[in-house]
Amino acid sequence: MQKKDFWFDLPQEQIAQEPCSPRDAARLMCLNRSNNEIHHKTFSDLVDLLDAGDLLVVNNSKVLPARLIGEKEHTGAVCELLLLRQEKNDIWECLAKPGKRLKPGMRILFGDGSLIATILETKEDGNKFVEFTYDTQTLYEKLDAFGRMPLPPYITTQLEDQSQYQTVYAKELGSAAAPTAGLHFTPELLNKLQEKGIGLAEVTLHVGLGTFRPVKEDDITNHLMHSEWYSISEETAQKINETKASGHRVIAVGTTSCRTLESVAAKYGEIRACSGDTSIFLYPGCEFHCLDGLITNFHLPESTLIMLVSAFYGYERTMTAYKTAVNEGYRFFSFGDAMLIL
């Protein structure tokens, strides 16, 4: 398939700039894979849309406040780093601005100068290897003090509360972006789901910014997918296998949970406790080995994420659903509305 096949027109005003309040007041488009019906609900209706015995699999990765704005030593020029991946100890791979002017050996000072970044090396793709020095026990304390949430470029307003870009169940630090389908859950909604007998299992996949990198190849099968680290616990593997054995549904919350489960199922032929890196790319024609349902937001045109949804729901049906969402005034992208595919 061609990249252009996944294009759709979206009015600028339908790109959500802030989350719904409360979170579960977002709209929910319900898509039925067996009869092609489309229904329009609210996310809080999820309790009524799922059955006792169903299992929701969420990504518990926590977003680092990984955007740092500082000054170049000696000149005071404004510089920006975005932490992408911990290479080892205090050495991180980062996006840097202005990238071409930041040479190996240069230092950037943040906040009161108690956090310093030294440029070590420039990679072929332009990213930098950077070493941090600080006066606290861990770098994360400095990120909490000086860092900002790494919001996608289409969100142009600053958050009043940084927790708005975290899921309520986030716990494992390491993501450069939020697993946004999970942003719609509230503690109250999770309690109602549990009371009905709907299970919850956690996986971890640390979201990299490669998620948002555009597909540059016209033939999508030539696209090289980014790699991300994942982990599945023994408890989660057991819950998933018991759910499948009992005939109930396993529903991934978000494309990151989906990629984690399908990576493991494709590798081992089953879900088992494990961890590693995945660069799985799901597009129309790929088989799914674990999922029975998917909760996801509305994604960017020509992105790997809309291709994943098309793989699960079908290309024609997905593009029809997106056209319907535009016509019905749904809000798109990270802080936007959601769809439930069953």
In CATH, what number is assigned to the domain containing residue 331? 3.40.1780.10
Q: Which helix (H) or strand (E) holds 81?
A: strand 78-88
DSSP state of 50: S
What is 267-287 written as a DSSP string?
HHSS--SEEEEE-----TT--
In CATH, what number is assigned to the domain containing residue 83? 2.40.10.240
Considering the domain architecture, whether residues 35 and 180 belong to the same structural domain is answered as yes
Considering the domain architecture, whether residues 10 and 140 belong to the same structural domain is answered as no
Instruction: Confirm whether 153 is domain-assigned.
Output: no
Predicted confidence at residue 212, as pLDDT, reads 67
- Cα–Cα dist 338/170, whole Å: 19
Considering the domain architecture, whether residues 260 and 119 belong to the same structural domain is answered as no
Considering the domain architecture, whether residues 18 and 87 belong to the same structural domain is answered as no
Instruction: Confirm whether 185 is domain-assigned.
Output: yes
Side-chain half-sphere CA neighbours of 171 within 13 A? 6
Considering the domain architecture, whether residues 212 and 283 belong to the same structural domain is answered as yes
Considering the domain architecture, whether residues 51 and 76 belong to the same structural domain is answered as no
Considering the domain architecture, whether residues 72 and 140 belong to the same structural domain is answered as yes
Show pLDDT as tens, one digit a residue, over the chain (342 residues).
999 999 999 999 999 999 999 999 999 999 999 999 999 999 999 999 999 999 999 999 999 999 999 999 999 999 999 998 889 999 999 999 998 899 999 999 999 999 999 999 999 889 999 999 999 999 999 999 999 998 888 898 878 888 999 999 999 998 989 999 999 999 999 999 999 999 999 999 999 877 767 899 999 999 999 889 999 999 999 999 999 999 999 999 999 999 999 999 999 999 999 999 999 999 999 999 999 999 999 999 999 999 999 999 999 999 999 999 999 999 999 999 999 999
Domain count, the chain: 2
Considering the domain architecture, whether residues 59 and 71 belong to the same structural domain is answered as no
Backbone angles phi, psi at 21, to 5 degrees: -130, 115
Distances (CA, A) of 196 to 26, 117, 168, 193, 199: 21, 50, 20, 5, 9
Considering the domain architecture, whether residues 200 and 111 belong to the same structural domain is answered as no
Nearest to 281 by CA among 311, 315, 257, 317: 311
Considering the domain architecture, whether residues 230 and 303 belong to the same structural domain is answered as yes
Considering the domain architecture, whether residues 56 and 78 belong to the same structural domain is answered as no
- Cα–Cα dist 290/201, whole Å: 14
Instruction: Confirm whether 116 is domain-assigned.
Output: yes
Domain containing 258 equals 3-63+162-341
- Cα–Cα dist 102/193, whole Å: 50
Predicted confidence at residue 256, as pLDDT, reads 97
Secondary structure of 168-181 as H, E, C letters: CCCCEEEECCCCHH
CA 305 remoteness from chain centre: 10
Instruction: Confirm whether 134 is domain-assigned.
Output: yes
Predicted confidence at residue 328, as pLDDT, reads 98
Instruction: Confirm whether 155 is domain-assigned.
Output: no
Which pairs count as long-range contacts for 209-217, CB under 8 Å and 24+ apart, including other chains?
209/82, 209/84, 209/95, 209/150, 209/176, 209/177, 211/177, 211/256, 211/304, 211/305, 212/152, 212/177, 212/300, 212/303, 214/302, 214/303, 215/3, 215/302, 215/303, 215/304, 215/307, 217/3
* pTM for this predicted structure: 0.93
Nearest to 15 by CA among 334, 286, 338: 334
Considering the domain architecture, whether residues 112 and 204 belong to the same structural domain is answered as no
- Cα–Cα dist 130/117, whole Å: 6
